[in-house]
Every structure is written in C-alpha cells, then in structure tokens.
Amino acid sequence: MKKIMTALILMGMAASAVAQITEVPSNNGGVESLRGSAELNITRGADKHKRVIKDREPLQRNYVHQPPIIPHQVRGYKVNLNANKCLSCHGWKYARETGATKVSPTHFETRDGMTLSDVSPRRYFCMQCHVPQVDGKPLVGNDFKAVDSLTQN
Amino acid sequence: MNILKKIWQTLSTPSKAGVGIVLALGFTGGVVFWGGFNTALSLTNTEEFCTGCHEMADNVYQEYRETIHYSNRSGVRATCPDCHVPKDWTHKIIRKIAASKEVWGMLTGIIDTREKFQDHRKSMAMREWKRMKGNDSRECRNCHNFEYMDFSEQGSRSVKMHSSALASGEKTCIDCHKGIAHELPDMKGVEGWH
C-alpha cells in the first residue's frame, strides 16, 4: 500500500512538472526587439544570408579617428604570428604597387605615444578595428550625420 | 600451305625463332607492364592516396578544407594532385621520383607530429614555391587560363594586378597567391610579405 501511494504521489508530481514546463507563459508585451516581435518560446526563422560586397570605393568616414571600414572582401586573409596578409598591401613598402591606402602613422605608435619603426603590436591585428560590411539593411533606424568637414560630395 | 611451312621453318631455326618470341613476349609484357604502371600512377594521383598518410591528412588536408579550392559556389574542386603533380607524362614521372623521398620521410618520421610539421613547413613551402615559380605556375594554369579571365567579372584589385604584372609576365600566380590552400609558415624575409 505504502509503495503504491509513493508511486502515485511521484507520478502526480512528475505530471504537474511536465504541465508547468509546457505552460511557460511568454508575453513580450508588444515590444519589438532585434529579433522582431517573436515570442520567447517560439523559434523565429533565420534571416537571409548576407553577402560581403566585392571591391568598391572607400566608404565615407563618420567622425575623425574612425577606423575606416574595409571596402573589399577579406575571405581567406590570415593575420597571425607567421604572416599578415593585410600588410602585404597596406604596408608602406607595398602600398604604391598595390594601390592600397598606407596604414597611417598612428599604427606605429605604442600606447605611450612612442613611435616604433614597424607596426605597433596593438595595431597588428587589423580586424579588431577594421571590418568589412555586408549588403544588409540597418537593424535599427539611425539618422546620425557625419560632420560637414567629413562629408564627401 | 606454303605459309604454314614458312612459319615452321622459322620456328625450327633457333636464332630466328628466338628473336620472334622475344619480340612477341616483350611486346605483350610491355603492354601489361605499361598498363599496370600507368594504373599504379593514376592510383597514386588521387586525394585519397595523398591523405592516406597522417602527415598529409592531419595538417595540410585539414587546412585546405577551409579554402576556396575545397568548397565554393560552383562546386568545382582542385585536389592535391591538381596543384602538386604535373599533368603531362614526363614531368609527372620526374615529380613522382622526386616524391619518393616522402616515403622515406614518413619512415623516418620527419613530420610525424604537428609541431614537427610546423617546424619543417617553411623548407617544404619554399621548395614548392621554387618549383611553381620555375614552371610559371603551370599547375594553376591548367585550370586558370589568363586568356579567358574576364576582367569585367573580377574585383578592381584583381584587375589592377592581373592586367599589369601578370599580363606582362613580370610575375606569376604563385608570386602573389601564396597560402591559398594551406597555412603559411613564418613569412619573414619572403618577398612581398611584411
């Protein structure tokens, strides 16, 4: 008898636990986030795959000291201890031949403002600051305008 | 009747028969050997063969799987021998004989760990670059023919370099496209690298 009772109680507990799991309430209160208005407990369909745009003209900068955006594909470009693909075009030695913009002198400075004879370790991993763009629409609206002196005609 | 007689005569004269039989045997043997040899050659010219050695499978093969020559929009692949083994017979045989040292390398364990591979990579890569530079990147050109490159389809950076240094013959594919299929060794001192 005792055994049957325990079993029944356990079963009851398990059943109510299951019921609770399926009944998690989800109500985003009509708030739209970056994942749209999908409820938490619903898996939203994935967005369409975005593509990196091939080569194009350098993009306008929005503020002074902005790291410029990379206006070309970087697929397969490795930057590691052994090799730096970016510098094989953007290094001062090769920039003229390849038509790439030279890295600016700030890339040779340490954080204490000392100028080194080669690219500073803190500017070695280019993609920490420079990134390519995809053909996606901005996720949120933005009416930021660059200062007049940076606006290209 | 006359013909049969002649054949019998030939066969019964030892010296003449000897020549004939040797020639005949030589001929069939040659066909068999040749066929077998070429079959063996083409068997060793597959990706499965190359990756049969863990030295190749654990290092260069894994790296190559992340690159455009393994997977791309058109599904056309370049396999190990496409880039590393010449297509025409003479060059292929020469390369194959040179490559027999790889078997020795395997037996002596010259690159049998990842660390050893990395230490040895620069000397191997430099030999490959030298070979490709020496034959004007012949294996690349088996698939990529400069004559048929459509500059209107290429990126502006590609067009700039291809229409100048490549078109004039001043540089060849491997001068500008190192490390397209595998990780690079330490590039200090290599021309064109930082």
Interchain pair B179, A54: CB under 8 A:
no
The DSSP output letter for B57 is I
Range of the domain at B32: 20-176
Is A147 within a domain? no
How far apart CA B163 and CA A102 sit, in angstroms, is 22
B167 lies in a domain? Answer: yes
Rounded CA-CA distance B22/B25 in Å is 5
* CA gap A85, A153 in Å, rounded: 32
| Structural domain contains residue B39 | yes
B178, closest residue in chain A (CA to CA):
A85
pTM of the model: 0.88
A82:B184 CB<8 A = yes
As for how many domains chain B has, the answer is: 1
Is A120 part of a structural domain of the chain?
Answer: yes
Q: Does B128 touch chain A (CB under 8 A)?
A: no
Partners of residue A93 in chain B, C-beta under 8 Å = 194
pLDDT of the residue at A15: 58
pLDDT of residue B45: 85
Summarize pLDDT for A4-61 with one digit per residue, the tens: 777 767 676 665 555 555 566 777 788 888 777 888 788 888 888 888 888 989 989 9
Q: B131-187, pLDDT tens digit by residue?
A: 999 999 999 999 999 999 999 999 999 999 999 999 999 999 999 999 999 999 999
CB contact under 8 A, A55 and B156: yes
Shared domain for A85 and A131, answered yes or no, is: yes
Q: pLDDT tens digits, residue range B47-84?
A: 999 999 999 999 999 999 999 999 999 999 999 999 99
Q: Is residue A150 part of a domain?
A: no
Range of the domain at A38: 1-46
Chain A residue at shortest CA distance from B72? A75
Would you say the ipTM is above 0.90?
A: no
In a domain, A144, yes or no: no
Inside any domain, residue A149: no
